[in-house]
Structure 1
Amino acid sequence: MNKVVSLLLLLFTVSILSAQKPVPIKPRILISTDIGGTDPDDNQSMAHFLMYSNLFETEGLISSPSYGNGSVSEILRMIDLYEKDLPKLKKQASGFPTPGYLRSITKQGRSGSAPYCGYQTATEGSDWIIDCARKESTQPLWILGWGGLDDVAQALHDAPDIQDKIRIYWIGGPNKKWSTNSYAYIVENFPNLWFIENNASYRGFIANYKQQDEFNAGYYDTFIHGRGNLGNDFYNYLKGNTKLGDTPSLLYMMDGNPNDPIKESWGGSFTKFTHSPRIIYDRPTTTQDTVQVYSIIEFRVKGPEISIPADSACMTMTINKQTWNGFYLGDGIYVVRHSTYSLGTFPYTIVSDIPGFPNQEGEITIENVWPGKIRETDYKLGNNWFTDRDDENLFQKNLHGFKTVSKWRIDAMTDWAKRWSWLKY
């Protein structure tokens, strides 16, 4: 009998130690998403947000598709589904926002990436970010970035005073590739911003989503099928496979103390970094030219002087089966930025229709080091920039910080399963 009691006490203790520690005060959040654009996992994470929206003071839902065809209409469509499920959610918990309120804070941001300078013109989304950031509050406004940073960069350009009022948790990696110019503008001009740059850790939540078990590929059949309008819609994204690439940003706001990125959290554990790698080449590169993964690479070309406005897109770089715009800076200087989360050696071409432009071919090698060695051309950071841990014991599939998120996946998915049960027909 004593052994049984001891075992029960042990299990109870383990349960307490591994349990989520809810954030004591509802955090103010604004979500910037490219939903409907490049990846259907934004829809999955939006469903996750809506089902947990009673835990947040949500101030904005911004459509910011740096790449792809996302639009505000996709956010509104998800809110329509939420509205149909809301009566069942409200029977189980209080504090859910009304659909009308969520529609009122849903705004269209920039469609397409910013030019080389990193900003262009104000949007409904960037203006809304400014309005929310300037509200009188004892709490910061948390911006959860699920896509590019173009509206955030525009807001900071138009209202630099907001930098002390916001905190950013950004799902980087591929999104850094879509918005290199806005990222470069922010990191160069606002080094004292409070910023979590999650380039790889988030993949600890998604890398095994095709694995055949009830918390991955079997999650839809086990917990979602037949549960509400959001559940019926969920199958339309990756046939119900729970990729949820942006969800770690929400989990971070649900667990413990968001003001301490170094601690363990459902949304990952991060480390400070003092320099964001930038490498500039003014010549064609070769396989021997090696740069860090996730770094900003600038390829500069000296060509003919032409009379077009500075920062005009006038050339293209094709690398790894994708094409990116390059820009004219004036005085015969042309430049294209690139960032990648792929590893290996990649050939590329830089071409333009401008007469006399010296088209280029080259190769560049991307190594799995982040942030890596310091260069004079790096962006210098302040005291509040955080990124993926480089401890190899936390790697999986060569991904930095993977295990700081993957270790909590079953806990988070189990908790979500409870909420799906609320919607059962």
Structure 2
Amino acid sequence: MKKLFLSFIILSFSNILWAQQPVPQKPRIIISTDIGGTDPDDNQSMTHFLMYSDLFQTEGLISSPSYGDGTKKHIIDMVDLYEKDLPKLQQHASGFPSAAYLRSISKQGRHGAAPYKGYASATEGSNWIISCAKKKSAQTLWILVWGGLEDVAQALHDAPEIQKNIKIYWIGGPNKKWSANSYAYIAANFPDLFFIEANTSYYGFFANNKTPDSLNNNLYSKLSIREAGFLGKDFNQYYKGQIKMGDTPSLLYMMDGNPDNPLKESWGGSFVPFKQSPRVIFTRNTNLQDTVAVCSVIEYHFKGPEINIHPDSACFTMTVSAKIGVQKWAGYYLGKGEYVIRYCPKQAESFNYSIASDIPNFPTHQGQMVVSNHWPGKPNTSDYRLGKNWYTDKPDIDLYNEQWQGAKTVQKWRNIALLDWTKRWEWLR
């Protein structure tokens, strides 16, 4: 107990030394989330957002599940809990939005990944992005993407002029796997967009090293949340209360200092510009002599039978066997006997794959690939050429946390951010 108390005092003193830096203006934000899908960490991050919603001009909460069964109702369910805790939150700070307002800006986006071209048809969510981006305002609209990019890509396709009015902070990594086609569309067609691609930095928020018991991932809920309020009781439903919250760094980034400067130190990470996003094209089966950078867009193009289906239709499957197990990915027919699939590996490893279809005379394929642990890696002639406002995880070796590039730019602020959150949990007692 003495050790725990001492750690708390040390961290509290550190909080004074490295206090949160004021944000120049209360930022305008839209959150695009795959809450309710396969990973309940979005519920945890939504809890965090709701408890800090006084700090934002929130203009939209969009359900954008590129994979899984998430819907707008999962957002509304969290808002319902927030409504019950709102009177206590309002006793300590002004500016919290009403639950009725948050429900009114909750919108349904696309279910499922976009086809190869990267977009499909307008959704309530994509139309809402356009509407908010076109509002007259002296401030840029930030879109914090916690899942797939489908609704962002659709909005940009339908109203490309909005690119000058929006900025993106995207939690990429595994989300890039599910959203490869939409990412490719945006990178290829909107190189001048302001875009922070956090593929691995956010892993620093999972780190337990140099963490006292009260802020440990496995113990924070038990020792710091302690089922405070309706949101606190709900928190234990996700990972049995163990902290994951992989999307929270996007919020922390908007809470600390000037979000327009990704090079700065920030609770939500620090980033570097990059000019080329790796895209590697293969027209053959690959083997263990073939290496790509982690989070690259890999494309397999091959010939097959000419069939009478609409171009850009999903018609074959690539089965990938890797460390995380076996996953299946849809591939597409482009017409005239041309087939293609995109895949984005989320971690350094070697993997096996096979490609098959029920189409008569379809050529089966199989191969292997090695993924290196340094993003974005060496340039390729087929890379997406980016403008001056694309940023990503810092490549410095000393900023890796285990295998995760740039993670220490988030990890170094994690304890302070959690201590700050602990204070807000006390508001709900």
Q: Same fold by TM-score, threshold 0.5 exceeded?
A: yes
- In 1, the alpha carbon distance for the partners of 2:90 and 2:50 equals 12
- In 2, the alpha carbon distance for the partners of 1:405 and 1:226 equals 26
Contact 1:345 1:363 in 2 (8 A): yes
Contact 1:63 1:71 in 2 (8 A): yes
Q: Which residue of 2 aligns with 1:226?
A: 227
- In 1, the alpha carbon distance for the partners of 2:199 and 2:20 equals 24
| CA apart distance, 1:231 | 0.3
- In 2, the alpha carbon distance for the partners of 1:263 and 1:98 equals 33
- In 2, the alpha carbon distance for the partners of 1:309 and 1:194 equals 34
- In 2, the alpha carbon distance for the partners of 1:16 and 1:37 equals 38
Q: Which residue of 2 aligns with 1:95?
A: 95
Q: Which residue of 1 aligns with 2:69?
A: 69
Q: Which residue of 2 aligns with 1:333?
A: 338
- In 1, the alpha carbon distance for the partners of 2:15 and 2:47 equals 27
Q: Which residue of 2 aligns with 1:204?
A: 204
- In 2, the alpha carbon distance for the partners of 1:169 and 1:11 equals 28
Distance 1:181 1:11, change over 3 A: closer
- In 2, the alpha carbon distance for the partners of 1:140 and 1:39 equals 30
| CA apart distance, 1:58 | 0.1
Q: Which residue of 2 aligns with 1:257?
A: 258
Q: Which residue of 2 aligns with 1:241?
A: 242
Contact 1:64 1:109 in 2 (8 A): yes
- In 1, the alpha carbon distance for the partners of 2:22 and 2:70 equals 32
Q: Which runs of 4+ in 1 moved over 2 A?
A: 10-17
Q: Which residue of 2 aligns with 1:4?
A: none
- In 2, the alpha carbon distance for the partners of 1:146 and 1:82 equals 20
- In 1, the alpha carbon distance for the partners of 2:11 and 2:268 equals 24
2:393 is the counterpart of 1:380: no
Q: Report the secondary structure of 1:327's partner residue.
A: strand
- In 2, the alpha carbon distance for the partners of 1:374 and 1:335 equals 22
- In 1, the alpha carbon distance for the partners of 2:181 and 2:204 equals 27
Q: Which residue of 1 aligns with 2:422?
A: 417
Q: Report the secondary structure of 1:168's partner residue.
A: strand
Percent identity over the alignment?
A: 63
Identify which range, 214-223 or 90-99, moves more after superposition: 214-223
- In 2, the alpha carbon distance for the partners of 1:192 and 1:16 equals 38
- In 1, the alpha carbon distance for the partners of 2:173 and 2:208 equals 17
How far does the alpha carbon of each residue in 1:275-306 deviate from its partner, in whole angstroms, 9 at most, with x for none? 00000000100011100000000011111112
How far does the alpha carbon of each residue in 1:336-382 deviate from its partner, in whole angstroms, 9 at most, with x for none? 10001122211100011111111001111111121111111000000
How far does the alpha carbon of each residue in 1:197-253 deviate from its partner, in whole angstroms, 9 at most, with x for none? 0000000001439x8821121111111123100001000000111111100000000
Distance 1:202 1:15, change over 3 A: closer
Q: Which residue of 1 aligns with 2:276?
A: 275
- In 1, the alpha carbon distance for the partners of 2:422 and 2:120 equals 43
1:27-66 pair list within 5 angstroms: 27-66=27-66
Q: Which residue of 2 aligns with 1:214?
A: 214
Q: Report the secondary structure of 1:408's partner residue.
A: helix
1:15-414 pair list within 5 angstroms: 15-208=15-208, 213-216=213-216, 217-320=218-321, 321-414=326-419
- In 2, the alpha carbon distance for the partners of 1:302 and 1:368 equals 31
Gaps of 5+ in 1: 1-9
How far does the alpha carbon of each residue in 1:368-421 deviate from its partner, in whole angstroms, 9 at most, with x for none? 121111111000000000000000010111211011000000000000000000
- In 2, the alpha carbon distance for the partners of 1:311 and 1:420 equals 49
Identify which range, 216-225 or 256-265, moves more after superposition: 216-225
Structure 1 counterpart of 2:94, which letter?
A: S
Q: Report the secondary structure of 2:77's partner residue.
A: helix
- In 2, the alpha carbon distance for the partners of 1:52 and 1:262 equals 24
| CA apart distance, 1:261 | 0.1
- In 2, the alpha carbon distance for the partners of 1:205 and 1:358 equals 44
- In 2, the alpha carbon distance for the partners of 1:39 and 1:197 equals 20
How far does the alpha carbon of each residue in 1:71-121 deviate from its partner, in whole angstroms, 9 at most, with x for none? 100100000000000000000000000000000000000000000000000
Contact 1:212 1:218 in 2 (8 A): no
- In 1, the alpha carbon distance for the partners of 2:137 and 2:416 equals 32
TM-score by length of 2: 0.95
| CA apart distance, 1:24 | 2.7
* Count of residues paired in the alignment: 415
- In 2, the alpha carbon distance for the partners of 1:238 and 1:14 equals 29
- In 2, the alpha carbon distance for the partners of 1:21 and 1:369 equals 31
Gaps of 5+ in 2: 1-9
Structure 2 counterpart of 1:152, which letter?
A: V
Contact 1:196 1:387 in 2 (8 A): yes
- In 2, the alpha carbon distance for the partners of 1:310 and 1:142 equals 34
Structure 1 counterpart of 2:77, which letter?
A: R
